[in-house]
Amino acid sequence: MQRRRLLCQLGFFALFLLAPALDLLRFDLTETQLWVLGQRWTLGLDALRAGTRSAPEVAAGLFWRALLPALVLVAAFLAVAWRWGRLYCGWLCPHFSLVEGLNAVLRRACGRLSLWERPSAADAARADARWWPVFGLLCLGFGFVWAFTLLSYLLPPARLWAHLLAGQLTLGEARFLGVATVVFTLEFALARHLFCRFGCAVGLFQSLVWMANPRGMVVAFRRERARDCRGCHTAAAPAGSACDVGCPLRLHPRHLKRMMFACVQCGRCLSACQTSQARHGQPPLLTWQVDADAVRETLRQRREALAHSPPPSQEPH
C-alpha cells in the first residue's frame, strides 16, 4: 500500500511542478487569462463588449464553462472526503509529501519528527548531527522551489525562467521570490505539521465533511487485543508505539475519531502495526473500517470512552 501511495505522491508532485510550464493550469496576470489543459479558457466577456455575442449567450457560457464545472469539481472532491476523509492530503498533496520527506531527514538528524517534541532515548542515541545541514538545505531549497512554482502559476513560466537564468529578475519578481522563500523555509522547518493540521483550508474542509459522516472510513483498533501493544516495536520504533511513531502528523491512531480530526488516511499507522504484529505471527490491531463497520467502531469507541471516564463529582447540598 505504501508503495502505491508513494507512486501517487510522486506523480502528483511532478504534475504540481510542471503544470504551469505545460499550460495545464495557470492564471496569467499579464494577460488576465486562465489556461486549462493547454487552451485559453474564456467566458465570452470580450465578445460581449465587442458586440459579437448577446448577454444571454454569455450568461449561458458562464454557466456551462465556469459555474457548472466548478460545482462538479467541488462536489466530487467533497464526496471523496465524505466517504474516505482527507484522502487527497495523504495520497496526493505535494505539501504533505514534503512533510513526510523532511520528517525522515529530521529523524536522522535529531531522532524526532518535529523540533517541538522530545526524542525518546532510543531515537536520541541514533541521532546523527551530520544530517542537520541536509535538513536545512532541503528546507531552503524546497522553500525556493515552492515560491518559484507558485509565481509561475501567475506569470508566464518561460519569461520567469529566462529572467532567473539570466539573473535579470524584475524588482517585483525578486521581492516575491525572496519573501516567499523565507516564509516557506520557516514553515517547512518549524511549522509544517501545524500547517497541515490547522492552517490548510483544503484539509480543514475535508476534515469537517468527514467528521459529519458517521459512516466515513476510520482507523479501527481491536481493543480486546490491547495487551499485544506491549510487545510492539519496529526498526523505526524500537521503544514501542509503532503506530504513534509512524503517524507523520503526530496523531495517536488508537484514539477516538474526534481526536483524529486531522487524519490524512495515509495508512502509515496501519503499515507499522502490521509490521510489528507480523513479528509475533499475529494479525494487525489497526484496520480501516467504512460504512456500517465504521458506525459500529465509532459507537464502540464512545461506549468505551464513557466507561473509562470518571463519574461526575457530587456537590454537597
- CA dist list (Å): 24 to 35, 62, 151: 7, 21, 15
Largest CA distance in the chain: 83
Residue 301: pLDDT band (50, 70, 90) is: low
pLDDT at 264: 93
pLDDT at 127: 80
Output the CA torsion 189→191→196→202 (10° steps).
-100
Q: How far apart are the first and last CA of the chain?
A: 59
pLDDT in tens, 100-145: 999 999 988 888 888 887 766 666 667 888 999 999 999 999 999 9
pLDDT in tens, 26-71: 988 888 888 888 888 776 666 666 667 777 777 777 787 778 888 9
Using the predicted structure, report yes or no on whether residue 279 has a pLDDT greater than 80. yes
pLDDT in tens, 229-257: 877 877 777 777 888 888 888 888 888 78
Looking at this protein, which amino acid is placed at residue 259?
M
What nine digits make up the cell of 254?
A: 488508537
Exposed/middle/buried for 171, CB within 10 Å: 0-12, 13-18, 19+?
exposed
Mean residue pLDDT of the chain comes to 86
Q: Cα–Cα distance between 51 and 53 in angstroms, integer?
A: 6
pLDDT in tens, 214-232: 888 998 888 888 888 877 8
Alpha helices in 153-170 (DSSP H): 157-166
Residue 63 makes CB contacts below 8 A (sequence gap 6+) with none
Q: Which residue has the cell 510489528?
A: 276
- Residue 265: name the closest of 131, 75, 86, 2 by CA: 86
pTM recorded for the entire structure: 0.84
Q: What angle do CA 301, 303, 307 make, to 5 degrees?
A: 115
Q: Give the 3-state secondary structure of residue 223.
A: helix
Decide: 264 and 103 in contact? Cβ < 8 Å.
no
Q: Give the 3-state secondary structure of residue 255.
A: coil
Please name every residue paired with 221 in a beta bridge, in sequence order, or none if there are none.
286
- CA dist list (Å): 266 to 38, 96, 185, 190, 246: 32, 10, 24, 22, 10
Residue 314: pLDDT band (50, 70, 90) is: low
Percent of the chain with pLDDT over 70: 89
